[in-house]
Chain A
């Protein structure tokens, strides 16, 4: 786990640090860094923000649930990914009581399944369920549809910028 606390950086560095969050990865920051993740199809980016600390974090989850999978990477799944991010934010000084969430992704593009709902939709449902279990409100979302997204969490403001191919960016 990486925590960027700003130590060791020069005062003159004004441009916000960018931290790339890969698939099935998460990261947290308390120095106003910009957390980015790209190429969300059915995957979801979950951004959590506690402005009283302030701390922010972003996780890029791929599949709905860790159940029945022998896989040690908690950040790969919607349920354990969100849980892990909450815990890491608390370890960095946040409090779940003050956290709010913004989510993007969960597209149903290229869903070949003939019955039932696709992975994108199930990812959305699972993320919402887990956040609800922790009583964390979703204050912004851009989910579903049939297009991909890339997102940027500006942790100094809590703004989540969502970019889609062939479309203007929106800010959640």
Chain B
């Protein structure tokens, strides 16, 4: 089954318009100004859906739909967000039941527009159920991702919506069943030069996971801290949404440009607390300093280098090509400002981009690292075309070899 860039663009655009319509409905009802920050279409391992929700408490509504597309759509607000919304709507909720019905009402209005937009575009009817109220912590608030025959992957449309004045956000997830969605996407593709075999996109995702696992192993080796790869996903979004994939907090990390097929950029980023923690784990003495010193930064540079090598080797093994890269550059800046020049570079030739994201974590200390890759779209497509699916498992980078470099 093949989809093309055009159909990925179209479907992403549909999700964005739906989210915007939903947001407008909410603004009309409550007077709260909100903006759709980012909409992306991601291919994710089923078990990783909703990782970005963390462990926070969410409430929201869920719809089931069937027809040309089948699956679930969910709108979730954080709990604080709910209180403000309901106050704006009915001037405060005295009882739990009222709060629930407020959430349901807002959710219903927001989501009807969302689903209707899809049906209009597809020129087919999509029936949806009445909204049901949901609540839960983190990813548990979401319905189980639909199982799709022999694949572990699901396509997820995600929109993050932020209020203008406050740092409150909510999310819309659309979790269509895999088969109907890919069929519809393939129907809307004209399978010309830019067709992408969907199954290979999955392989690429698995490959990214392996790369991240390698990078995590390298962290463990360097620091003695047991580190695990958490999430990996490949997403598709307009180039102007790419910088929003990263928060605007200050990050420390390394960036490389890689060449070959595909070429592109790879970032290894730590938030400042993580950077300090992990750097100190690599140092022989306790720094006892709250500031991020040059020693911390050079430790991060070294670690970024090792993580990059692990990750890139994972790719190269699967692609059976060498992936060359520049020496890593140390960065310490606002997240969005770090990725912005890279997006601009890639954006000279393409309007949309694939973004490959993964994270790793450890339970021992407060530590999280993000890896983001921004490949050239055309070259990624070619790499996928050349990729033999059965090589996906072969990502064994030899650590000895990495350390000899």
Point out residues on A near B: beta carbons under 8 Å. Answer: 18-20, 22-24, 38-43, 62-63, 71, 73, 76, 107-112, 118-120, 147-150, 165-166
Contacts and interface: CB of A to CB of B under 8 A. Distances in A.
Given A22-B37, A166-B332, 15 more contacts: A22-B240, A23-B340, A39-B335, A41-B336, A41-B339, A41-B341, A42-B340, A73-B240, A109-B331, A110-B255, A112-B345, A120-B341, A150-B248, A165-B250, A165-B332
A165 B253 CA distance: 14
B271 to A, nearest CB: 12
Interface in B176-197: none
Contacts of B226: none
B344 A150 contact: no
B96 interface: no
A39 B341 contact: no
11 contacts: A22-B35, A23-B244, A39-B336, A41-B338, A41-B341, A107-B337, A109-B337, A110-B341, A112-B326, A148-B340, A165-B250
Contacts of B341: 41-42, 107-111, 118-120
A148 to B, nearest CB: 2
Contact of B248 (A39, A73, A118, A166): A39
Contacts of A76: 240, 347
A109 B343 contact: no
B240 A23 contact: yes
B22 interface: no
B366 interface: no
B350 to A, nearest CB: 10
B164 interface: yes
A41 B337 contact: yes
Given A23-B240, A24-B240, A119-B345, A148 B333 contact: yes
B50 interface: no
Given A22-B240, A112-B257, A119-B341, A38 B348 contact: no
Interface in B34-50: 35, 37
A71 B257 CA distance: 26
Chain A CB within 10 A, most for which of B248, B332, B334, B343: B334
A101 to B, nearest CB: 21
Contacts of A19: 164
A41 B240 contact: no
B342 interface: yes
B164 A63 contact: no
A39 B340 contact: yes
Contacts, number: 99
A73 B332 CA distance: 31
Contacts of A22: 35, 37, 240, 244
Contacts of A23: 240-241, 243-244, 340
Nearest to B337: A148
B199 interface: no
A39 B347 contact: no
A110 B331 contact: yes
B165 interface: yes
- By size class, the interface of chain B is 35 or more
A108 B337 CA distance: 11
A62 B344 contact: yes
Interface of B: 35, 37, 162, 164-165, 239-241, 243-244, 248, 250, 255, 257, 265, 326, 329, 331-345, 347-348, 351
A71 B244 CA distance: 20
B325 to A, nearest CB: 10
A39 B333 CA distance: 9
Given A38-B334, A112-B257, A112-B326, A18 B164 contact: yes
Contacts of A120: 341
A27 B44 CA distance: 35
A166 B251 CA distance: 11
A74 B386 CA distance: 36
B329 A110 contact: yes
Contact of B337 (A63, A118, A147): A147
A73 B351 CA distance: 10
Contacts of B162: 20
B131 to A, nearest CB: 29
B338 A43 contact: no
Nearest to A41: B340
A149 B248 CA distance: 10
A109 B254 CA distance: 12
A42 B35 contact: no
A38 B249 CA distance: 11
B35 A40 contact: no
A40 B240 contact: no
Contacts of A112: 257, 265, 326, 345
B135 to A, nearest CB: 29
Contacts of B255: 110
A110 B188 CA distance: 38
Given A23-B243, A23-B244, A63 B348 contact: yes
Given A39-B248, A63-B347, A110 B243 contact: no
A110 B342 contact: yes
